[in-house]
Amino acid sequence: ITSIKGKDLLTLADYSPAVITGLLKKAKELKAAYLSGEATPVLIGKILGLIFDKPSTRTRVSFEAGMLQLGGQVIHLNGQEMQLGRGEPISDTAKVLSQYIDAVMIRTFSHERVVELAEHATIPIINGLTDLYHPCQALADLLTIEEEKGKLQRVKMAYIGDGNNVAHSLMIAAAKTGMNLVVATPVGYEPKEKVVELAKKFAFESGGAIAVTNDPVEAVAGADVIYTDVWTSMGQEAENAQRLLDFKDFQVNEKLVAGAKEDYLFLHCLPAHRGEEVAGEVIDGARSFVFQQAGNRLHVQKALLVEILK
Ligand code: CP
Ligand code: NVA
């Protein structure tokens, strides 16, 4: 693994395929150790700060538990309880925090704010979800696919739904690892053009492929993996009624998945809305790996923390 010691994780676009593969390998080692009850106290004395400007179950608990399992500690830095909530510049906050703790994980709205934090901090900044990207989720997605399919290269994945943060990170992750990803969204909900271009460039380098369509049936044809996410992301609640109408033909249900390979995997970053983006019969069915996927958040993030902090 090329060293990422001291590095940020703002987007997987900044990590080479070798680094991503190395993180997955490390995650598998840490998962095996965890499952066999072996202690891995390699980050004793290290402190991770956690900032959440949006709700979270998986990200919050897996980062906190992961850091504790590695022998480190966490401090919750609630945005509203800090001077940041009263207008202290993010650049000043970055310079101050850098002298007290060893890394910061932040979940917030604007990706630019996280970039700004990273620019002014001398400690690693980890993106725990912005409106643009969700890289830690994509690492867990890759690990789950590799565990079940034995490889990533040329695995065919269909992402059905909103061209959102989760879709963006999945595109970058798939492109970096040589996967063949088709993203199907309603008209007007396509992924950002600059992310599509970036992903296509990475796919060209890895031998993978990235395509965008408005036809979910076409996307799912012959797929090894079907992925979806909520139609209304955090911060978009006012658009919910319109989105329910616009996405109605994009539900992942038995009829749609019939076009995939028989041994397809269903993935969803969670939380899920049964009856909206996915039918209960699919997410609660035999081909659903969503809880293994959620569990893998812990292991990939521990691998990340070890590689950037140890
Ligand atoms: N998938 C995910 O990031 O979940 P949380 O919002 O619960 O952290
Ligand atoms: N796209 C969703 C993912 C939640 C984990 C959101 O941003 O709300």
Query: pLDDT at position 79, please?
Result: 74
Please say if the pLDDT value at position 78 is more than 90: no
Radius of gyration of the chain (CA): 19
- 287 given a catalytic annotation: no
**pTM for this structure?**
0.98
d(CA 267, CA 146): 13
pLDDT over 70 at 51, yes or no: yes
137-292: CATH architecture: 3-Layer(aba) Sandwich (3.40)
Query: Per the CATH hierarchy, to which homologous superfamily does domain 12-133+294-309 belong?
Result: Aspartate/ornithine carbamoyltransferase (3.40.50.1370)
DSSP string over 30-66? HHHHHHTT------TT-EEEEEESS--SHHHHHHHHH
CA angle (274 as vertex; 247, 261 as ends), nearest 5 = 75
Q: Which tokens belong to 308?
A: 């950037």
Number of neighbouring beta carbons within 10 Å of residue 172: 26
The closest residue, in CA terms, to atom 2 on ligand 2 is 233
Q: What is the pLDDT of residues 251-301, one digit of tens each?
A: 999 999 999 999 999 999 999 999 999 999 999 999 999 999 999 999 999
Give the percent of the chain with pLDDT over 70.
100
> What is the bridge-based pairing of β-strands 265-268 and 209-213?
unpaired
Average pLDDT of the residues in 44-51? 98
Query: Which ligand lies nearest to the CA atom of residue 277 in the structure?
Result: 2
- Asked whether this chain's domains 12-133+294-309 and 137-292 adopt the same fold, the reply is yes
pLDDT for position 81: 87
Query: Mean pLDDT across the chain, nearest whole number?
Result: 97
Which residue's CA is the closest to the ligand 1 atom numbered 7?
57
What's the pLDDT score for residue 85?
A: 87
Catalytic residue among 53, 131, 224, 229: 229
Enumerate residues lining ligand 2, CB below 6 A.
129, 164-166, 229-230, 233-234, 269
Sorted by where each begins, the domain ranges of the chain are 12-133+294-309, 137-292
Ligand 1 centre distance from Cα of residue 41 (Å): 25
The pLDDT of residue 1 is 52
How many CB atoms neighbour CB 88 within 10 A?
12
Q: How confident is the model over 58-76, as a mean pLDDT?
A: 98
Backbone angles phi and psi of 246, in degrees to 5: -65, -25
Burial state string for 89-122 with b = 16 or more CB within 10 A and e = fewer than 16: ebeebbeebbeebbbbbbbbeebebbbbbbebbe
pLDDT tens track for 141-179? 999 999 999 999 999 999 999 999 999 999 999 999 999
**CA proximity to 60, closest of 310, 297, 289, 255:** 297
Nearest bound ligand to CA 273? 2
CA distance 3 to 195: 25
297 among known catalytic residues: yes
Q: Assess whether 249 carries a catalytic annotation.
A: no
